[in-house]
């Protein structure tokens, strides 16, 4: 199978590596702008939905690089907070990408909220834009709950405080997303689900 380069519209190497694991079976090599000597422009995420922001980022990356570009916009939706932080997940505490500050704010907002009202879900919208103007998109969600403190060293973002509902059900010991292996995370994560659907669509396109 001939390897095809796809630009991943992010500066996050962990996200690139996660996408690479999922896309590799299609013969796709995920690259960042830095991998190909490009300093990609930061895209203002003006969309009101995850889908709108993913499309904005994928279109910009494709236009700048001339490569097919995959972008995702993902975030945490917490029922007790009326859906917040939502599309503002990465900058919930005011500084984009400050994971620790975002978690501190989230746990502070949920102080005193009991277990049964801490339901939340990770949402991911993924989009691929091709140089000829075609684009495909997909959405994935991962249901879970917000814990009371950080646990685990894996993942990024809100992973250390998000307790996903795992296939084992009630008999499965609660673990945060940051405590799962890469394989376990890919099988249940919002990004894994969205990219599985996206790769199914890509397989019919390539």
Predicted confidence band of residue 56 (pLDDT cuts 50, 70, 90):
very high
Summarize pLDDT for 7-21 with one digit per residue, the tens: 999 888 888 887 888
pLDDT at 171 > cutoff 60: no
Q: How many structural domains comprise the chain? A: 1
Q: Is the dihedral of CA 122, 164, 81, 94 positive or negative?
A: negative
Domain carrying residue 180: 4-205
Residue 73 known to be catalytic: yes
CB-CB contact of 19 with 196 (8 Å): no
Output the pTM of the full model.
0.84
3-state SS, 34-64, equals HHHCCCCCCCCCCCCCHHHHHHHHHHHHHHH
Which member of 39, 42, 72, 73 is catalytic? 73
Predicted confidence band of residue 2 (pLDDT cuts 50, 70, 90):
low
Q: How many whole angstroms separate alpha carbon 166 and alpha carbon 185?
A: 10
CATH number, position 115: 3.90.950.10
């Amino acid at each position: 199978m001939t390897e095809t380069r796809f630009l991943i519209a992010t500066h996050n190497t962990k996200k690139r590596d996660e996408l690479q694991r999922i896309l590799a079976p299609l013969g796709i090599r995920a690259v960042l702008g830095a991998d190909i000597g490009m300093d990609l422009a930061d895209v203002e995420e003006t969309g009101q939905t995850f889908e709108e922001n993913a499309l904005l980022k994928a279109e910009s990356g494709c236009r700048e690089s001339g490569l097919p570009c995959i972008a995702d916009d993902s975030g945490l939706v917490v029922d007790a907070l009326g859906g917040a932080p939502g599309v503002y997940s990465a900058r919930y505490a005011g500084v984009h990408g400050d994971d620790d500050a975002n978690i501190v704010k989230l746990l502070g907002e949920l102080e005193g909220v009991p277990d049964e009202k801490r339901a939340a879900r990770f949402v991911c919208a993924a989009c691929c834009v091709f140089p000829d103007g075609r684009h495909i998109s997909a959405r994935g969600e991962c249901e879970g709950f917000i814990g009371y403190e950080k646990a685990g060293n894996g993942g990024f973002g809100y992973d250390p405080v998000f307790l996903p509902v795992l296939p084992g059900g009630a008999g499965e010991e609660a673990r945060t997303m940051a405590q799962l292996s890469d394989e376990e995370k890919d099988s249940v994560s919002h990004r894994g689900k969205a990219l599985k659907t996206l790769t199914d669509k890509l397989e019919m396109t390539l």
